[in-house]
Chain A
Amino acid sequence: MSDFMKWLLTVVFVVLASVSFAWTNDALPEMLEARYEYTVCNVEYTDEWLEMREDCADQEEVPVFDSSEYMDALYDDLEDLEEATEEADRFEFGVAMWQLGLDSLDLLVAIIADALTDKNLDFFSCVRDGEEPLMEDRDDCRLDAMELEREAAKDYVNNEIDYANDQIEDMDELGADTSGMEEVVEYGEELVDDIDPAFDTGEISEIRKLHLRHSRLVLLFRLEKMLATIDYVEPIIEDGDNDNKEEILERGDELRDEVEEVLDQCEYSDEVDDNFDYGRDNLECWDDSIDLFDEFIAIGVLILEGA
């Protein structure tokens, strides 16, 4: 192959690699919509709670901080979230939600600081009484949003399972060992069965557990797929005459070891004892895997260049 042809194919491959796995889950808009609605419940409750608190401050003649800037920030974040939801933009949704989390934290810190300033027991008592009906309304609002998310979650995970099974079928046809991928899909099917029971509890912590397990399974499937691909391709490259044969085999071997290490460290558990710990482990597992994804794609480019 001429150098120009190789260069052209490499560019095409890299571009396609970056967009072709733009498989999008058809249930993504539903998921984002449900989560947006849940967040609206929280922001509106926060606004009403602050207003109630200011009324209590007036009543008890104590000073209270001006929370308008904090609420403006939250409503701006909500607007960004709404836009991302309408566009089904997963990335922008995550960015807006992250910002909203930061601004919510800022507000909480301001509330705590204000609580320590010239308040009396009657004020706190007034706030405790005033927040009860607001919390009931918020919880009802959240339950409605969670019902949306329940159905969206089932669709979302089932779509992923269907897609995963398609990939397994494709690799089976080639003769690759897909046992690792199949095991992850089985865990995914168990996860679907656990969706209704978790949502029936009405406990956000239980729903978070589902998400944490889901995130781990998605990662593990991709790692297993990489392993299956490397194992399948290796003997073919060994017997072939690709110009980059040596390098492909060496890097493929190293990548296999690294993938197996992460698979070992990030072994799946359907028991989530502590949401924070499981979430932290998920973050580490994903962080450790990003470089492996890039190396996997790079090996594909090597094969193409040496073809």
Chain B
Amino acid sequence: MNTKILLLLLLGVSFLFFGCAKKAAETDNVSETDDVTEEEETADEEDETTEEDNETAEEPDEEEEELADLFDIDKDKPVGDEGLDVESPSSESE
């Protein structure tokens, strides 16, 4: 009985210990992440502005895309006289 209680207490302390350690680590990371996030947000804002400028400059010329679409042509031949010219045998072949 005493052994069981002791074991249970040890397990409980272990979980408590590891739980605190994990939480401490997370708290440290959050602080670091916050700093990084702020930096990233600033950089992102700058990027967005640049991207917006680029989008205006990079927007494809729709008229020229429509012109390019006109350059489309079917290369396949239609059904022809194939099979109509196949000769059948006859006494005239001999």
A232 to B25, CA, bound (A): 70
Asked if B12 lies at the interface with its beta carbon under 8 angstroms from chain A, I say no
- Please determine whether B79 and A156 come into contact, CB atoms closer than 8 angstroms: yes
A303 to B68, CA, bound (A): 6
Q: Which residues of B contact A46 (CB under 8 A)?
A: 88-89
Q: A222 to nearest B CB, angstroms?
A: 6
Which chain A residue shows the least CB distance to B62? Answer: A307
- Please determine whether B70 and A300 come into contact, CB atoms closer than 8 angstroms: yes
Q: B29 to nearest A CB, angstroms?
A: 35
Q: Which residues of B contact A296 (CB under 8 A)?
A: 71, 73
- Across the interface, B81 reaches (CB within 8 A) one of A32, A93, A212, A293, namely A212
Q: Which residues of B contact A304 (CB under 8 A)?
A: 64-65, 68
- Please determine whether B91 and A90 come into contact, CB atoms closer than 8 angstroms: no
Q: Which of A50, A160, A218 has the most CB of B within 10 A?
A: A218
- Please determine whether B74 and A111 come into contact, CB atoms closer than 8 angstroms: no
Asked if B72 lies at the interface with its beta carbon under 8 angstroms from chain A, I say yes
A98 to B89, CA, bound (A): 18
- Please determine whether B72 and A208 come into contact, CB atoms closer than 8 angstroms: no
- Please determine whether A226 and B82 come into contact, CB atoms closer than 8 angstroms: no
Contact residues on B (Cβ < 8 Å of other chain), bracket: 35 or more
A236 to B54, CA, bound (A): 26
A2-B58, A229-B71, A307-B60 as given contacts; A104 in contact with B86, CB under 8 Å: yes
- Across the interface, B65 reaches (CB within 8 A) one of A21, A32, A94, A307, namely A307
Binary contact track A1-40/B, C-beta < 8 Å → 1, others 0: 1100100010001001100110101001001100100110
- Please determine whether A98 and B82 come into contact, CB atoms closer than 8 angstroms: yes
A21-B74, A229-B70, A303-B71 as given contacts; A242 in contact with B79, CB under 8 Å: no
* 24 residue pairs from A and B, CB less than 8 Å apart: A17-B71, A21-B73, A25-B78, A32-B79, A35-B79, A35-B84, A38-B84, A49-B89, A90-B76, A97-B83, A101-B82, A104-B87, A107-B89, A108-B87, A108-B89, A111-B93, A111-B94, A208-B81, A215-B80, A232-B70, A240-B64, A294-B75, A304-B65, A307-B60
Closest 6 CB pairs of A and B: A300-B71, A115-B94, A307-B64, A211-B81, A21-B74, A304-B68
Q: Which residues of A contact B (CB under 8 A)?
A: 1-2, 5, 9, 13, 16-17, 20-21, 23, 25, 28, 31-32, 35, 38-39, 42, 45-46, 49-50, 90-91, 93-94, 97-98, 100-101, 104-105, 107-108, 111-112, 115, 119, 124, 127-128, 131, 135, 138, 156, 160, 204, 207-208, 211-212, 214-215, 218, 222, 225-226, 229, 232-233, 236-237, 240, 242, 279, 286, 290, 293-294, 296-297, 299-301, 303-304, 306-307
Q: Which residues of B contact A (CB under 8 A)?
A: 54, 58-61, 63-65, 67-91, 93-94
